[in-house]
Amino acid sequence: MAQRVLALTAEEAPERLQEALQSLGEGELGGMVTRQALRGRETAALLRAIFKGSPCSQRSGVLRRLQVYKHCIPLVESGDLHLGKVSEIIGLLMLEVRQLPGHALAELATLFVDVIKSGSLANGKSLELFSTVLTALASSKESLAYGQGELNGEEFKKQLINTLCSSKWDPQNVIHLANMFRDIPLSGEELQFVVEKILRMFSKLDLQEIPPLVYQLLLLSAKGSKKTVLEGIISFFNQLDKRQKEEQKAPQSVDLEVATTPLDQLRHVEGTIILHIVSVINLDQDLGEELIRHLKAEQQKDPARALCPFSVALLLSVAVKHRLQEQIFDFLKTSITRSCKDLQFLQASKFLQDLFPQQYDVTAVILEVVKNSAFGWDHVTQGLVDLGFSLMESYEPKKPFGGKAADTSYGLSKMPAQQACRLGASILLETFKVHEPIRSDILEQVLNRVLTKAASPVSHFIDLLSNIVVSAPLVLQTSSSKVTEIFDNLSFLPIDTVQGLLRAVQPLLKVSMSVRDSLILVLQKAIFSRQLDARKAAVAGFLLLLRNFKVLGSLSSSQCSQAIGATQVQADVHACYNSAANEAFCLEILGSLRRCLSQQADVRLMLYEGFYDVLRRNSQLASSVMETLLSQIKQYYLPQPDLLPPLKLEGCIMAQGDQIFLQEPLAHLLCCIQHCLAWYQSTVHLCQGAGDDDDEEEDVGFEQNFEDMLESVTRRMIKSELEDFELDKSADFSLSSSVGVKNNIYAIQVMGICEVLIEYNFNIGNFSRNKFEDVLGLFTCYNKLSEILKEKAGKNKSALGNKTAQSFLSMGFVSTLLTALFRDNAQSHEESLAVLRSSTEFLRYAVSVALQKVQQLEETGQTDGPDGQNPEKMFQNLCKITRVLLWRYTSIPTVIEESGKKKGKSISLLCLEGLLRIFNTVQQLYAARIPQFLQALDITDGDAEEADINVTEKAAFQIRQFQRSLVNQFSSAEDEFNSKETQSLITVLSTLSKLLDPASQQFLQFLTWTVKICKDNALEDITCCKGLLSLLFSLHVLYKSPVSLLRELAQDIHACLGDIDQDVEVESRSHFAIVNAKTAAPTVCLLVLGQADKVLEEVDWLIKKLTSLGSDTSEDSSQASNQVQALEKGVILQLGTLLTVYHELVQTALPAGSCVDTLLRSLSKTYAILTSLIKHYIQACRSTSNTIPGRLEKLVKLSGSHLTPQCYSFITYVQNIHSESLSFAEEKKKKKKEDEAAAVSTVMAKVLRDTKPIPNLVFAVEQYEKFLIHLSKKSKVNLMQYMKLSTSRDFRINASMLDSALQEQNTEDAENEPDNDQNSTAEHTDENQEPKKKRRRKK
């Protein structure tokens, strides 16, 4: 039959063809088409023939065509045909669709919907036909039957799409359907339907099928609904990530049926999807704009939903080769700093923590992106690197740090900008570790910045470089040319940068000979440079090389102060060739350094400070270094045993014109000798058991020399009088004359030499009485000079003179000395130590040096002397010193000690200052080791495991000791009260309180105790009062909101200072004895206002959160509305109590000045915040038909009854006290014309300045009332019934004055009088015009 149909077609006989087709039944027609298709013969020709014989003008033709379509669709989907044949059939059917009438199209479309519903699509090829049918249907104008009624083609199509999107889809067909919808013209509403349906299908699909579907969805988004598409994709993957994280936390609790996808598979799918989105954004710029817009809006509402690992990775990928880079980085940077600020804000307030239990931290999210990028996300890495550098540059440290403070203060930064800078460094370091291909690029960029930003601080880049090199030392080899280029510029870089840089690249010097050689060449040139900094850089470089290139036979550097990062490359360092080469190389460097001993004092100083470390790392160089030092000291040492003084001080200075400079820092040279000798004797002797005799003799030579020399110098220094050094009380020490400068240099050198010899003799003395008498003799010499310098400095009042010279004692020695002086109970030592203990001056000196050392450690992160840069040794010394100071302070109270001697600070007070500094320093530099620190202080519990240390318990124990001391101070007699000690005790307590866990019982006990102290003690010392109240507030905010506390304090201030209306007697309700006539104003008043301002800031922050949550229309709106209600309740309660605080303060007769000014500004801020709350409710009424809560009505009522009228009375009071001061000044002016003119103008200026906030306050009140009117209209609740008309304007009619004027003068004058009368008091408002423009409308 098929052949006949084809033949009739070929004969061009349409009538016969129609008859032949007419004779076929429905089944036969279908069978014929199927057979022809399966045989693969001329299927298209047969279909053409059937269509030719079935014209659409005849009803039978239309029906036959429909039969063919209905039969072909299952045939195509059956999977029995070859794909080429399928495409041929579909193509032909699509061409003929346009011929069909509307009702046939509708029937066909309905058939398709049924097929999709039943899920019988196999390959989805027929959907191409469906899209054509729907498109044709949409353009059909005839009315089509649908249910009971009729619809046109467009509406019919809409109903079909609605039905389709509401029905169940087979997950296998989703991609085909998504592809199909791209070819159908859709309205915005239809498109939204379709997109939402496809997004809902994500969860039903296998993970591997999602990327192609997302791609189809993105192409579909070209028609619209971009926001919905992006939001759906991001939230889907955010949920998957969250689920994955939860499972990793608790894998055992997961049911076996709900086993989710493996992590690597999920990451690869996410990576593919990000690539798809980026490729579509490259074609469609609007999609990129929409992505940023959507995330910005989302971030306002819920940052955790906006910036999840997936969306951040997506943003960074889009940023790489795109014009959106600047927008994206700006958005990310502001999000990071805002997140850091919010976290800081939340951590500082228990009230906020209760309202926001979950804290979102964007830094963790970004570091998670770095971790995820290891799964082949190469498209994200460039964005990560750019973001890292952008953060480090935008938020780099603003001022240079001294010494090593760079990484200490940088390492524990608290400011959001510093945290952002640290995050940038972490991103770069982690990216460096994860992605090998990009390593050299990161390294080169870091090195470039170190070089080009030489003027600004680069410590953060050097730290990063150091960490990078430690994580992969060999990567430097690939960039060795860049390193060499940096070396060429060493002499132009600041000395701190040079030292940091050389330390960081030091592992490379061990691997690459060429780099090492180029560095040596640069350093040798620099030694002869004209620039002092270049010569210092050369010395720093050479010392570093000496420390790190070991000579064969050197002792192990187990005590080394700076770990060497190149563990991977140390294998070949100790080979024979290397050690022999190292020896020659080190001796050559020493030769170069010897030349520096004839240069400026600064250069020599660096050498003397560096030699000790060189010896400790490279013990084989001992004899060379010691010989060098011996030849240097011999230039100044006078060997004759009776000659005084023993050293030539004239040789240490150099005159240049009329200026005098220090040429040889002799004390430093002696200090270096003393430390090197001590090290040499303690270490080398022990290891030389079976050494070479010749060597030993030679070594003993210089050792004996040094010992004799130091012995002789000690003996002669004790005998020397100040006159021997040309220094005595009559000498000139002023820094303005050259003689004075010379004397100052001499004095500092002599004091330094004494200190060095004190340390030497104590160390070698082995507790012998004679040696300790020598120590005391040396101290006497030191102390005489020290007293003279202090006395002269006191007379000159010079800032320079007041600075104590930096002590030459090493930190290790200070801890040993203090322990011996105060804690050594050994019987055998008692007699000798009694010599030192008998001198109170010496004890005071020992404690003050400890204080100086701790201060230096706190400021720069290191101290002078051996091991000064070794954090571990410094920590151990700190623990020892703290133990001694703590024991000394708690066992001998200041009161007992001070009764004996009044001169200078008592030792106990010095101990307390030292403890305060130490507690600060430990929290700054050793935050991670606080448990070990507290453990070390607790002598009773020495053997506890580190894991068992409870920081809160240990800190509470220490706090109790200081609490006892403070209570003793308060209970002491008035003449024995020591203000300085009390201040220090309060500061110590507040520092230690930071170690308590705010949720612990100990914290609550401490808070209760602090409240009790403030309530019971009528403290009149201003500074102590300020410290105690600040401590109270800082504790209280971590327990609960301090508003009720502020109310009680405000009531006390009111009772203490009286009312602005002198006739009113204030009820005396004294809650806190600390509020009294001396402290109430300005001290307590300003502190209360300051704390109230902090509460206002919190409330303001909450209102912003409320506004963003209010605009959130997501699915979980019930949860959001609960949170909104909780926030609204919190805000209104806080504001309500604050209004009662201000209610008290505005009725208080505050003295003119800072209190009044601060109160007026604070009130303006309060009204501004009340206004923003009212605006929030106006917005809420607009978006929903909610009525306003009764709580808000009460707040408005409270503001109308308890605040606004009192504000106006307070303004009158302020103006009165100012007009009084003006009239007082005018009277003076009349009496003394010329002299007082300046004083009057000062008073005028002060009055103008002090009254400036008044117009702003009036304006703020009226803005509040304006928005109340708006809210009243919106909510149909009359809120203005609680408000009284305002009276403080640029003019004011005073009723009582008007009455008296009416009696005295005629009516005409009386009308003008109040106006004139008020002109003088109203002048001040001219500066702020806003209030003038407003006029109250009567309703």
Beta strands in 69-198 (DSSP E): 144-146, 149-151
In angstroms, the CA 197 to CA 116 distance is: 14
pLDDT at 353 over 80: yes
In angstroms, the CA 409 to CA 280 distance is: 45
In angstroms, the CA 88 to CA 99 distance is: 18
* pLDDT in the model for residue 1318: 41
The CA-atom distances, in angstroms, between 706 and each of 594, 623, 692, 894 are: 19, 13, 21, 43
Share of the chain above pLDDT 70, in %: 72
When mean pLDDT is compared across 360-364, 982-986, 992-996, 1072-1076, the lowest value belongs to 360-364
In angstroms, the CA 1144 to CA 1137 distance is: 11
Residues whose CB falls within 8 Å of the CB of residue 248, separated by 6 or more in sequence, listed in order = none
Q: List pLDDT tens digits, range 958-972.
A: 999 999 989 988 888
Helices (H), 635-692: 666-679, 685-687
Q: What does the pLDDT average to over 6-10?
A: 53
In angstroms, the CA 823 to CA 837 distance is: 11
236 or 1287: whose pLDDT is higher? 236
- Cβ-based neighbour number of residue 1263 at 10 Å: 18
- Identity at 152, one-letter amino acid code: N
Q: Which segment, 129-138, 280-289, 375-384, 825-834, is predicted with the most confidence on average?
A: 825-834
* pLDDT in the model for residue 922: 92
In angstroms, the CA 1271 to CA 1265 distance is: 10
pLDDT at 1134 over 70: yes
pLDDT at 46 over 90: no
What DSSP element (H or E) covers 661? strand 659-662
Is 1029:1089 a contact under the CB 8 Å cutoff?
A: no
Is 750:781 a contact under the CB 8 Å cutoff?
A: yes
- Identity at 788, one-letter amino acid code: I
Among 476, 610, 623, smallest CA distance to 551 is for 623
1287-1309: string of b/e by CB count within 10 Å (b at 16+)? ebbbebeeeeeeeebeeeeeeee
Residues whose CB falls within 8 Å of the CB of residue 929, separated by 6 or more in sequence, listed in order = 875, 922
Helices (H), 205-360: 210-220, 226-249, 263-283, 285-301, 303-306, 309-320, 325-347, 350-355
575 or 771: whose pLDDT is higher? 771
* pLDDT in the model for residue 1298: 62
* pLDDT in the model for residue 569: 38
- Return the structure tokens found at 811: 């930190």
* pLDDT in the model for residue 882: 94
- Return the structure tokens found at 86: 């399928």
pLDDT at 1223 over 60: yes
Among 723, 729, 785, smallest CA distance to 753 is for 785
1156-1171: string of b/e by CB count within 10 Å (b at 16+)? bbbbbbbbbbbbbbbb
* pLDDT in the model for residue 191: 76
**Cis-peptide, bond into residue 1082, ω within 30° of zero:** yes
In angstroms, the CA 462 to CA 406 distance is: 9
pLDDT at 412 over 50: no
| φ and ψ at residue 949, rounded to 5 degrees | -70, 120
Mean pLDDT of all residues belonging to the chain: 77
Q: What does the pLDDT average to over 304-318?
A: 81
Residues whose CB falls within 8 Å of the CB of residue 554, separated by 6 or more in sequence, listed in order = 617, 618, 619, 620, 621
When mean pLDDT is compared across 472-481, 691-700, 885-894, the lowest value belongs to 691-700
DSSP-assigned letter for residue 163: H
The CA-atom distances, in angstroms, between 297 and each of 228, 291, 294, 485 are: 13, 10, 5, 47
Radius of gyration of the chain (CA): 43
Among 512, 557, 518, 564, smallest CA distance to 541 is for 518
- Identity at 16, one-letter amino acid code: R
Among 84, 91, 95, smallest CA distance to 40 is for 84
802 or 1144: whose pLDDT is higher? 1144
When mean pLDDT is compared across 147-156, 461-470, 519-528, 943-952, the lowest value belongs to 147-156
Work out the pLDDT band at 853, boundaries 50, 70, 90: very high
* pLDDT in the model for residue 400: 45
Q: List pLDDT tens digits, range 398-411.
A: 654 444 333 434 33
Give me the residue label for tokens 């450690």. Answer: 857
- Return the structure tokens found at 211: 């990327």
Share of the chain above pLDDT 90, in %: 15
pLDDT at 66 over 80: no
CB hemisphere CA count around 805 (13 angstroms) = 25
Is 340:419 a contact under the CB 8 Å cutoff?
A: yes
When mean pLDDT is compared across 581-585, 943-947, 1014-1018, 1079-1083, the lowest value belongs to 943-947
Q: List pLDDT tens digits, range 458-490.
A: 888 888 888 888 887 777 777 778 888 888 888
Relative to beta strand 653-656, strand 149-151 is unpaired
When mean pLDDT is compared across 128-132, 397-401, 598-602, 719-723, the lowest value belongs to 397-401
Rounded to two decimals, the pTM is 0.81
Among 931, 938, 930, 815, smallest CA distance to 878 is for 815
Q: List pLDDT tens digits, range 1093-1115.
A: 999 999 998 888 888 776 655 54
* pLDDT in the model for residue 1027: 92
Is 733:758 a contact under the CB 8 Å cutoff?
A: no
Q: How many helices (H) and strands (E) does the chain have?
A: 61, 4
Residues whose CB falls within 8 Å of the CB of residue 941, separated by 6 or more in sequence, listed in order = 935
DSSP-assigned letter for residue 573: T
Per the document, the length of the chain is: 1339
* pLDDT in the model for residue 914: 93
- Assign 3-class secondary structure to 24-46: CCHHHHHHHHHHHHHHCCCHHHH
Residues whose CB falls within 8 Å of the CB of residue 543, separated by 6 or more in sequence, listed in order = 593, 606, 607, 610, 611, 613, 614
Q: List pLDDT tens digits, range 520-541.
A: 888 888 888 888 888 888 888 8
Work out the pLDDT band at 1248, boundaries 50, 70, 90: low
pLDDT at 568 over 90: no
pLDDT at 357 over 80: no
